[in-house]
Amino acid sequence: MSTHDFKLYIDGAFVEAGATFESTDPASGEAWARMPAADAADVDRAVRAAHRALNDSAWAELTATQRGKLLTRLGDLIATNAAELAALETRDTGKIIRETSAQIGYVAEYYRYFGGLADKLEGAHLPVDKADMEAYVRREPIGVVAAVVPWNSQLMLAAVKLGPALAAGCTVVLKASEDGPAPLLAMARLVHEAGFPPGVVNIITGFGEECGRTLTAHPLVARVAFTGGPSTARHVVRNTAENLAYTTLELGGKSPVLVFEDADLDSTANAVIAGIFAASGQSCVAGSRLLVQRSVRDRMLAILAEKARLIRIGNPQDRATEMGPLATGRQLAHIEATVAASIAAGARLVTGGRRPESHPTGNYYEPTILLCAGNEVPCAAEELFGPVLSVIAFDDEEEAVALANDTAFGLASGVFTASLTRAHRMIRRLHAGIVWVNTYRAVSPIVPFGGYGQSGLGREAGAESIRDYTRTKSVWIRTSDEPIADPFVMR
């Protein structure tokens, strides 16, 4: 039986939705909470509240510095309540408590960063070619923002949207994923406590047409910031044909990690393990393709296999656990089917490849390593969003680059080598929005995040991201005291 009830947060109030659904604990398979499912009327109410708040003096007349202080206060509240939010995220998504605790504690830094950035957004004076004119550009909030985030790393992915949007003076309707929305719905209380005026931030969740399409196609939405999969993103793009909303998309990846023979293999193995098996592989930047120089392939495989077998699988609420369950049963079924198809296509199973005997219930799957002949094997071609590492050997730099770039995705990549010159060559040639050298999965609010190709459009985080939540207004001022000449009198 579900014991927790969550509500929508619309126009500064916690309200019931048109319908509800049960959320399931991925570790036990049992329903634990009742979630609100926003229908089209709920979404319309949230968007209209955001639109009213956009022009209401309680928000519109705040100085940028005052907006920044509200963001900083929200960050402080998230830090104070990080343990509670982490426990909710772990319960609702299966992500281990060690990771949710560390990540949510760091999320506060995103709000502090954008809080400090709010009054650094500047316009420009333009040196126009007219002697009796002054011209300048103002940056003003773009309007109502529809922010759509998935269940994984949801507080951070919300922060890189809410932070710059609110710093710029926009108002937001934040849609949490129907898979594991608890921590974002709970965060609404902190938004309320921080003192944001009613309607500035609205937090909802719901399904498909009723919620997602209504939100992204709404005529009062001026900008859509979406994180999710490419197939859903295509629906979002089609939806925005209705309102011509400015859209940024942070999508999936099939990120390559290149390991050269001069790399420190033990150190590299730790980074590879963290890059694919942290969060049970449910990360858009997961290093799911390991490209390793043939001369060290077998040594690398042996090290990785040993480390993978030692990973402690267990209850995600237990701090001793190193890998928890997948978030949904359908994801588990998809991974099982793809691994089976990959082995049938010639991939060699090195370790894993099944549900652990120690956890017959829940959405658990062993850390899995497959040796593949190339990128054509299903597990090497598709984003699995799970703990599956595809290993492919290469002989030289040319082959490594060709294999790395042989994908529709281009979000992240890793390079492990002792050669600084080789690292710089790889940085130039890899088609990815992020290149980590001798490290993996490092993030910061200061550093932009985004990809190439099917990995999306636009960038999140960093100082430039706030500009994507503004539009420019050009201002002309005539400085001459002379009367304007009659345009119909010829001289």
The per-residue pLDDT for range 301-337, each reduced to its tens digit, is 999 999 999 999 999 999 999 999 999 999 999 999 9
Please give the mean pLDDT across all residues of the chain: 96
Answer whether residue 187 is part of any domain.
Answer: yes
Tell me the pairing of strands 171-176 and 144-148: parallel
Average pLDDT rounded to a whole number, residues 188-209 = 97
Q: Are 213 and 239 within 8 A, CB to CB? A: yes
Q: Report the b/e string of 36-67 with b at 16+ CB within 10 A.
A: bbbbbebbebbbbbbbbbbeeeebeebeeeeb
Contact indicator for 214, 40 with CB cutoff of 8 Å: yes
The verdict on residue 489 lying in a domain is: no
More confident position, 3 or 157: 157
400: tokens are: 């490594």
Structure tokens at 12: 């500064």
> Rounded to whole angstroms, what are the CA distances from 95 to 102, 231, 262, 270?
12, 24, 34, 20
How is residue 269 written in tokens? 């193995």
Q: Are residues 278 and 235 in the same domain?
A: no
In the prediction, which pLDDT does 71 show? Answer: 98
With tokens 């040993």, the residue in question is 306
Helices 154-168 & 97-117 angle (0-180, nearest 10): 10
Domain identity same for 264 and 246? no
Q: Which tens digit of pLDDT belongs to each residue from 376-405?
A: 999 999 999 999 999 999 999 999 999 999
One domain for residues 247 and 260: no
pTM over 0.75: yes
**Exposed (0-12), middle (13-18) or buried (19+): which is 280, by Cβ within 10 Å?**
buried
**How high is the pLDDT of residue 491?**
66
pLDDT of residue 489: 87
d(CA 290, CA 257): 5
Q: Are residues 104 and 170 in the same domain?
A: yes
Partners of 175 in the β-ladder: 148, 204
Q: 348 and 211, same structural domain?
A: no
For residue 410, being part of any structural domain is answered with yes
**Whether residues 202 and 277 fall in one domain:** no
What's the pLDDT tens digit per position in 243-272?
A: 999 999 999 999 999 999 999 999 999 999
206 plus 307 within the same structural domain: no
Report the first-to-last Cα separation within the chain, whole angstroms. 88
Helix pair 64-80, 97-117: axis angle to 10 deg:
170
Residue 463 falls inside a structural domain:
yes
Q: Within 10 Å of residue 332's Cβ, how many Cβ atoms?
A: 20
481 pLDDT above the threshold of 60: yes
Domain of residue 201 covers 4-251+451-475
Residue recorded with tokens 């934040």: 174
pLDDT score at 490: 75
Instruction: Report the pLDDT averaged over residues 21-26.
Output: 94
Residue linked to tokens 């495989």 = 301
Q: Is residue 68 part of a domain?
A: yes
pLDDT (mean) for 72-84: 97
Give residue-wise pLDDT tens across range 395-444: 999 999 999 999 999 999 999 999 999 999 999 999 999 999 999 999 99
442 assigned to some structural domain: no
* Claim to verify: residue 179 and residue 266 sit in the same structural domain: no
CATH number for the domain harbouring residue 358 = 3.40.309.10
Mean per-residue pLDDT for 36-56?
98
Tell me, what's the pLDDT at 289? 98
Rounded percentage of the chain residues whose pLDDT exceeds 70: 99
Which of 176, 219, 208 lies closest to 47, judged by CA? 219
Same domain, 301 and 286: yes
**SS3 string of the chain?**
CCCEECCEEECCEEECCCEEEEEECCCCCCEEEEEEECCHHHHHHHHHHHHHHHHCHHHHCCCHHHHHHHHHHHHHHHHHCHHHHHHHHHHHHCCCHHHHHHHHHHHHHHHHHHHHHHHHCCCEEECCCCCCEEEEEEEEECCEEEEECCCCCHHHHHHHHHHHHHHHCCEEEEEECCCCCHHHHHHHHHHHHHCCCCCCEEEEECCHHHHHHHHHCCCCEEEEEEECCHHHHHHHHHHCCCCCCEEEEECCCCCEEEECCCCCHHHHHHHHHHHHHHHHHCCCCCCCEEEEEHHHHHHHHHHHHHHHHHCCECCCCCCCCCECCCCCHHHHHHHHHHHHHHHHCCCEEEECCCCCCCCCCCCCCCCEEEECCCCCCHHHHCCCCCCEEEEEEECCHHHHHHHHHCCCCCCEEEEECCCHHHHHHHHHHCCCCEEEECCCCCCCCCCCECCCHHHEECCECCHHHHHHHEEEEEEEEECCCCCCCCCCCCC
Could you tell me the pLDDT band of residue 1, with boundaries at 50, 70 and 90? very low
User: Any idea which residues carry the catalytic annotation?
Assistant: 250
Per-residue confidence (pLDDT) for residue 126, from 0 to 100: 97
* CA distance linking residue 427 with residue 442, whole number of Å: 16
Residue 487 domain-assigned (yes or no): no
Say which CATH number the domain at 173 has. 3.40.605.10
**Residues 286 and 171 occupy one common structural domain:** no
392 in any annotated domain: yes
CA atoms lying within 13 Å on the CB side of residue 131: 2
Number of domains comprising the chain: 2
Q: Are residues 303 and 183 in the same domain?
A: no
Query: Where is the domain boundary, 389, 412, 437?
Result: 437
Same domain (yes/no): 127, 30: yes
Model pLDDT, residue 266: 97
